[in-house]
Copies of this chain bind each other. A is one copy, B any other.
Amino acid sequence: MRGRLAAIPGVLQRLAAEQHSVDFVEKVQELCRRELGFELPESLLRGAWIAGLDMRAVYGAAMLATLRSIAEQVHATGFTNGRDPDETAVSFFLDCGYHAVDISPCSDGRLKGLIRYILRLPDEAIRYRNAYAGALFDVEASVGRWIEAELSRFREWRPVGPEAESRYLKIAVYHWSSSDPLHMGCAAHGSNRRRAAAGALSRLREFREAIQNQFCCGASVDLLLVGVDTDTDAITVHVPDADGELSLHRSIDNMDLYGQTVGDDPNAAYLKVYEALRVVSEQEGWGSGNGQPTEGMRRLVATLLVNNLSQIDYVCAAHGGRYADVGHAEHFISVGDGFEEFQLRNIAYYAHLQTLEEGTPDMDVGIRILESLNVSRGLPVVVAVHFRYDRRVPGSRDRTIAKCRRVTDAIRARYAELARRGLLVCGMTVQDQAAGSPLEVVDCETAPAARPAAVDDTSGRICVDEGGKP
């Protein structure tokens, strides 16, 4: 996946060298077909013999087309296709006592492989996943998701009925860099690990208090705070006490455990993990709490730690224990609902939002990161706006397409200077909510009437239209 995206600039460089030959268009399309697997939109090549090829637009089009082609490949291999979330995946969390899990990591691209690789959890079992800059998630939106999950439990007995002892778990995930802690940590918290952890913890507590105060009948949620060292993928789990309370000072550093368990067989490793849980729960001083967490939470934390030991193992074997790219190396910004197809470290910065007006802080951080990665090399920032609709709801697809356009227009208006210089390329896709549904490209050339007057329409030219479909 990374390979195909990283290969694009090289191919385009060769393509640029051809641009003044007579049979340029055929040569270029032939090169693209062979090396990238698709042709470029005709509109980008038509006038190239006069004005020269707009390489920024070509780069954007190639990047977006590659993304769609990768997604098609992912679907074809059945990676996400046709899996039924109501099976073993959900039952793992149910065994731990949780009927619904909501994870809010930081938007940072180095956490993009969080669920599948760093925590090695079954993808389909995580009901809600929404990234926010600095893991500073939206409390009101989280309450909305809790309401939705509760109703499906009461009305539809999904995944279990209301009389079962099952609970809602909210996990926040912050991150830092052990190699370069002062520069390569969380941008939203000025690379300060402590501030990142404290920020996420205080949002978690606000969320729980919101549920407890707004709803009666003992409504509450369980909380978990996890940190990730993005250089090694080792996690730190803040262990709740028997009352579910968290502390910044009561946590298990999995890199330590890795050192203690290296070479052990799985059983021995599990025993050491449970022992670490016991020890940390009995500690005195700042991190002291009221005893060990519930049995289900112990099982969950132990599983997270043991799963993550395998990931540390992988990073040791494949990357010598530390990624070469400890810093940012995102290829694009993913905006809106996340792509389930792209879950890989550093592939994208992910800003979960419904309107740019609310998501401005998340988007600003992402633009800053991609600007320093791409614009310095003369390449544009590629933004993939993606929203999911519900086929069962009449008008949902049309409204979702309109939302795509609205958000894209707002992005172009806010970063107008980048757009004017051809350094902002936006693509739009929508997708049905059913797992494994194909990406559908939204043509940004149509229905310009719907755009607000303030939009700089000249930026429209760099969009990929239907012709650019792989």
Within 8 A of B (CB), among A196-237: 205-206, 209-210, 213-217, 219
Q: Residues of B contacting A156 with CB < 8 Å?
A: 215-217
Beta-carbon contact of A139 and B399 below 8 Å: yes
Q: Is A10 interfacial (CB-CB < 8 Å)?
A: no
Q: Which of A54-62, A93-101, A283-291, A353-361 lies on the face that meets chain B?
A: A353-361
Contact with B along A413-453 (1 / 0, CB 8 A): 01000000000000000000000000000000000000010
Q: Is A377 interfacial (CB-CB < 8 Å)?
A: no
- How far, in whole Å, are A399 and B357 apart by their CA atoms in the complex? 14
Q: Which of B209, B214, B410 contacts A357 (CB 8 A)?
A: B410
Q: Is A392 interfacial (CB-CB < 8 Å)?
A: yes
Beta-carbon contact of A206 and B394 below 8 Å: yes
- How far, in whole Å, are A393 and B212 apart by their CA atoms in the complex? 9
Q: Is A140 interfacial (CB-CB < 8 Å)?
A: yes
Q: Residues of B contacting A454 with CB < 8 Å?
A: 414
Minimum CB distance partner of A209 in chain B: B394
A interface majority secondary structure: helix
Q: Residues of B contacting A396 with CB < 8 Å?
A: 139-140, 210
Give, as a whole number of angstroms, the nearest-CB distance from A250 to chain B.
Answer: 22
Beta-carbon contact of A393 and B214 below 8 Å: yes
Within 8 A of B (CB), among A148-183: 148, 150-151, 154-156, 162
Contact with B along A386-406 (1 / 0, CB 8 A): 000010111110010000001
Give, as a whole number of angstroms, the nearest-CB distance from A335 to chain B.
Answer: 13
Beta-carbon contact of A393 and B210 below 8 Å: yes
- How far, in whole Å, are A395 and B142 apart by their CA atoms in the complex? 14
- How far, in whole Å, are A316 and B396 apart by their CA atoms in the complex? 45
Q: Is A7 interfacial (CB-CB < 8 Å)?
A: no
- How far, in whole Å, are A399 and B143 apart by their CA atoms in the complex? 14
Within 8 A of B (CB), among A123-160: 139-140, 143-144, 147-148, 150-151, 154-156
- What are the 10 A-B residue pairs with the smallest beta carbon separation, nearest first? A213-B392, A154-B154, A210-B393, A355-B357, A357-B357, A355-B355, A206-B394, A151-B151, A209-B394, A206-B395
Question: Which of A's residues lie within 8 Å of B, judged by CB?
Answer: 139-140, 143-144, 147-148, 150-151, 154-156, 162, 205-206, 209-210, 213-217, 219, 355-358, 360, 390, 392-396, 399, 406-407, 410, 414, 452, 454
- Can you offer 14 A-B residue contacts whose CB atoms are under 8 A? A139-B396, A140-B396, A147-B147, A147-B151, A150-B155, A154-B154, A206-B394, A206-B395, A209-B393, A213-B394, A214-B393, A355-B355, A355-B358, A358-B406
Q: Knowing that A154-B155, A210-B392, A214-B392 are A-B contacts, what are 18 other residue pairs whose CB atoms are under 8 Å apart, sorted by A's residue number? A: A139-B393, A139-B399, A144-B144, A150-B151, A155-B217, A206-B393, A209-B394, A210-B390, A210-B393, A210-B394, A213-B390, A213-B393, A355-B355, A355-B358, A356-B357, A357-B407, A358-B406, A414-B452
